[in-house]
Amino acid sequence: MKQDIEGHSGSSTSSPSVKQKSLTVIRQLQCYGLVAITFMSFFPFLFRYQEYAFFVLLAMALSLCWIEGKNPLVRTSIDVPLLAFI
């Protein structure tokens, strides 16, 4: 690949860095959301908002997995016993 004056490859654009920054912001929002859900667990009058926050964070996590092309399902050795218990 050709190198331009700054030493970067010629095919690099600013979009991957923008995508990376947006993914970092989404991950930070998820962390703050988990802290908020933990805080709301101590106050019964906030349980309804805790449920809403959980579903918003779940949707964010699934959409993040879809954007990154990752599979959100993780296989473990305890999956079969848990399914048998349910």
pLDDT tens, position by position, 1-56: 445 455 555 555 556 678 788 888 888 999 999 999 999 999 999 899 999 999 99
> How confident is the model at residue 52, as a pLDDT?
94
Task: Give residues with Cβ within 8 angstroms of 61, minimum separation 6.
Answer: 30, 72
C-beta of residue 23 within 8 angstroms of C-beta of residue 30: no
Banded pLDDT at 57 (limits 50, 70, 90): very high
Q: Give the angle 22-28-75 at the CA atoms, nearest 5°.
A: 95
Q: What pTM value is reported for the model?
A: 0.65
> How confident is the model at residue 3, as a pLDDT?
52
